Amino acid sequence: MTQSVAVTVNGRRREDQVEPRLLLVHYLREVAGLTGTHIACDTSQCGACTVLIDGEAVKSCSVFTVQANGRKVTTIEGLAEGGTLHPVQQAFWNEHGLQCGFCTPGFIMAAAYLLKENPSPTDGEIERGLEGNLCRCTGYENIKKAVRSASAAMKGGTAQTTQLVGAVAAPVEG
């Protein structure tokens, strides 16, 4: 038995027939072909599957696809607009906020939501805002730094510019 759903994913409306039990994360990965949203715990502790539903951060392993019917879903693939990285993506890159990169999409989505709701979070607010996301590589030090740096950039303040790798690749004459 299937049910029809209409979901707008990253700005594009799709209509699909799905089983009522199909989790949103599986819908995104297997039906919509967007594999940037990851599954790491199955029990909603880790946040690797975080996406935005109508602009709100949600763990997509804990939502049935049918619950997203008629709603707008944004995944990590839809965060960069017009080929320009979202400031949170840029900050994760600048600050080495990722290593293996598996938890990263979830962290970036959760951080983007946090900064939308609270553009100037304190360290404590960053910790509370991201306590639903787990990372095993970074010890969180550079993730915190990245969120602070993205916050600054989004306020148009002390934005870190992209340090393009090519720009420092030219040998220094000496």
Partner 1 sequence: MAVTTMIGARIQRREDPKLITGHGNFIDDVKLVNMAHMSVVRSPHAHARIRSIDTSAAKAAKGVVAVLTAADFKGVILGPLPVSNSFVPDKKQVPDQFPIAADEVAYAGEPVALVVAEDRYLADDAAQLVVVDYEPLPAVMDIEKAMVPGSPLVKSDRPDNIGWDAAFPAGDIDAAFAEADVVLKQRIGQQRLFPTPMETRGCVADYVPYDNRVTLWTSTQVPHFVRLFVGGALGVPESQFRVVSHDVGGGFGSKIRPYPEEYLATAASKLCERPVKWIEDRTESLGATTHGRGQIFDVEVAAKRDGTLLGLKFTQLLDIGAYHGVFSAFQVVACLLGGGCYEFKAIHARSIGIFTNRMSTDPYRGAGRPEATHLVERIVDIVAAELGMDPAEVRRKNFITSFPHTNNFGLVYDSGDYEKSMDRAMANIGYAGLRKRQEELRAKGRYTGIGFSTYVEICGIGPSAATAPAAGVALVESSMVRVHPTGSVTVSVGTHAHGQGHETTYAQIVADTLGVPYDSIEIHHGDTGDTPFGYGTYGSRSLAVGGMAIMASCHKVVDKAKKLAAHAFEASEDDIVVDQGRYFVRGNPSEAKALAELAFASYGAGLPEGMEQGLEAVSYFDPPNFVWPFGCHICAVEVDPETGAVTIDRYVAVDDCGNVINPMVVDGQLHGGIAQGISQALFEEVQYDEETGQMLTGTMLDYLIPTMAEMPHFELDRTVTPSPTNELGVKGIGEAGTIASSIAVINAITDALAPFGIKHVEMPARPDRLWSMIKEARA
Task: State the residues that interact with partner 1 by CB under 8 A.
Answer: 19, 21-22, 29-30, 34-43, 45-46, 48, 75-77, 79-80, 85, 89, 92-94, 96, 98-105, 108, 126-128, 130-144, 163, 165-166, 168-174
Q: Which is nearer to partner 1, 134 or 152 (CB)?
A: 134
Distances, alpha carbon 50 to alpha carbons 43, 66, 104, 159, in Å: 13, 17, 10, 26
Closest CB 170 distance from partner 1, rounded Å: 7
Nearer to partner 1, 70 or 120 (CB): 120
Distance CA 139, CA 32 (A): 33
Instruction: Output the smallest distance, CB 13 to partner 1, in A.
Output: 20
CB of 131 to partner 1, least distance (A): 5
DSSP code per residue over 54-117: TTEEEEGGGSBGGGGTT-EEE-GGGTSBTTBPPHHHHHHHHTT--SS-SSHHHHHHHHHHHHHH
Nearer to partner 1, 13 or 128 (CB): 128
Match 């304190």 to its residue by tokens. Answer: 122
- State the nearest-atom distance from the C-beta of 8 to partner 1, in Å: 17
Closer by beta carbon to partner 1, 70 or else 96 = 96
By beta-carbon proximity to partner 1, the closer residue of 116 and 132 is 132
* End-to-end Cα distance, the chain: 72
